[in-house]
Amino acid sequence: MSGTAPHPQGHKAFPTAPRPLSPEALLNEEERGRILAKSALFAPPEAKLPDGRTDLVGLSREELAAEMVAMGEKPFRAKQLWHWIYHQGERDFSRMSTIAKPFQQKLAERFVIGRPEIGTEQTSNDGTRKWLFRFRDAQQVETVYIPEDDRGSVCISTQVGCTLSCSFCHTGTQKLVRNLGAAEIVGQFMAARDSYGEWPTPKGGGEDDDGRRLSNIVVMGMGEPLYNYEAVRKALTIVMDHEGIALSRRRITLSTSGVVPVMDICGQELGVNLAVSLHAVRNDLRDVLVPLNRKYPIEELLAACRRYPGVSNARRITFEYVMLRGVNDSAAEARELARLLKDIPAKVNLIPFNPWPGNDYQTSKPETIREFSEILLAAGISSPVRRPRGRDILAACGQLKTASERERRA
Ligand code: SAH
Ligand code: SF4
């Protein structure tokens, strides 16, 4: 579990890197600062209730200890609380049996252990479950649970809306309203666990099959996680802490549309699995499908993948490729993709395009997808076709969108 221990300086912005950065990554330092400053403009509201009580969820261990010290308590109280909050999933201070009654009362006067409010919950006929979660300021996001044979993934959102506007993505039609805070990100997973009654944390470190239903996290919901990196880092550090939810970094996959300067730091600090939304093999086409490509073109993106820490044949980078009929699905493009990826430990996830209202793209024909996949396979690249899940409840990749923007304007 050593690799999953929380970062010792978890609360600082970009703490000292454990390993030296490569020259290319160092070049990105300045830009990273700019991205971070911009992200702060869309900060979430303070995690406080109208009655002044503070939400303990989302605080780092250090911040929790500081709260205890501010109450005149010993820092070890933070360890006790951490266990109740993230291992037991307890939300009621009066049920924390290792804590004396008077102190339970003191805690309840000052704090809450929050969850996002459930707006709606829908279960698809294939078992996929989607929640619309509402936060204190009425902003909303969607979270999806996808059960599979050998695991279950919770797909969490990181922003309300998205600043990027990939032409095939429903979320991309919703302007960025704001970033989520760490509490709101980790809260989605905790609320999903509430829904399946999966507390306390099942035994085992999350490395092996430890019988959890909610065994994996994919950061692939609404928003671009690397444009809200600070909150994502804080939330995932909490999730990986071995005295709480204790999910191994190998069970977490973060998907990015390619925010190159932040990919380096994400690999270094979090070491989670990386998924990259590639979708095209030529810059002119990727400029249209994923407009961020104009800033970080394919060559730079692939260079960042090559230097992503910990990448090996056992831990490959996943390249997501949405199959759009007649747009990016030719055999020539499959061969070019194999060429581009030849020196990167990679697998390609072919995602049949999931339609949504008001969009004209069409899903590639099944035989086209099969042929595309076979070309990659022949080149030694595993390329599973992602089975669309929860399409009937608009829970599949790229179908998520909330009414937050509309409500804000109303
Ligand atoms: N912003 C991040 C993570 C969220 S999107 C990113 O772009 O990677 C998660 C995945 O769904 C991405 O690969 C995205 O390109 C894909 N996607 C978006 N819209 C889709 C659609 N309509 N059909 C299939 N996949 C889609
Ligand atoms: Fe944003 Fe990802 Fe959708 Fe692009 S695909 S608009 S980056 S959520």
Any idea what the CATH number is for the domain that residue 392 is in?
3.20.20.70
Give φ, ψ of 117 to 5 degrees.
-80, 140
| Statement to judge: residues 106 and 225 lie in one domain | no
Domain that holds residue 89: 58-112
Whole-Å CA distances, 50 to 91, 93, 136, 248: 18, 19, 9, 36
For CA atoms 28, 19, 186, 208, give the dihedral sign: positive
Nearest to 244 by CA among 139, 113, 54: 113
Paired sense of beta strands 111-112 and 178-179, if any? unpaired
Does residue 278 contact residue 320 with C-beta atoms inside 8 Å? yes
Instruction: State which of 162, 263, 279, 401 you would mutate to test the pocket of ligand 2, scoring each by most atoms of that ligand within 8 A of its C-beta.
Output: 162
Within a domain: residue 271? yes
| Residue 265 CB–ligand 1 contact under 6 Å | no
Q: How far is the CA of 122 from the centre of ligand 1 (A)?
A: 21
Q: Is the CB of 257 under 6 A from ligand 1?
A: yes
Q: Answer yes or no: do 77 and 198 share one domain.
A: no
Domain shared by 228 and 186, yes or no: yes
How many domains does the structure of the chain reveal? Answer: 2
d(CA 226, CA 292): 12
Tokens of 227: 């444009």
289 lines ligand 2 (CB under 6 A): no
The letter for the amino acid at 199 is: W
Reported as type and span, the H/E element at residue 181 is: none
The residue ranges of the chain whose pLDDT is under 70 are: 1-22, 25, 27, 204-210, 405-410
Q: Is the peptide bond preceding residue 261 cis, with omega within 30 degrees of 0?
A: no
What is the predicted pLDDT for the residue at 30? 80
Choose which residue among 255, 363, 387 to substitute to test ligand 1 binding: the one with the highest number of ligand atoms within 8 A of its C-beta. Answer: 255
Distance 398 CA to ligand 1 centre (A): 5
Whole-number pLDDT of residue 305: 97
Q: Which atom of ligand 1 is nearest to the CA of 399?
A: 22
In a domain, 266, yes or no: yes
The CA radius of gyration of the chain, in Å to the nearest whole number, is 21
Q: What is the pTM of this model?
A: 0.91
Q: What is the CATH number of the domain that holds 95?
A: 1.10.150.530
Burial class (CB in 10 A: 0-12, 13-18, 19+), 22: middle
Q: pLDDT at position 8, please?
A: 36
| pLDDT, position 345 | 97
Check if the beta carbon of residue 379 is closer than 8 Å to that of residue 348. Answer: no
Residue 50 within any structural domain of the chain = no
| 245 and 101 in a common domain | no
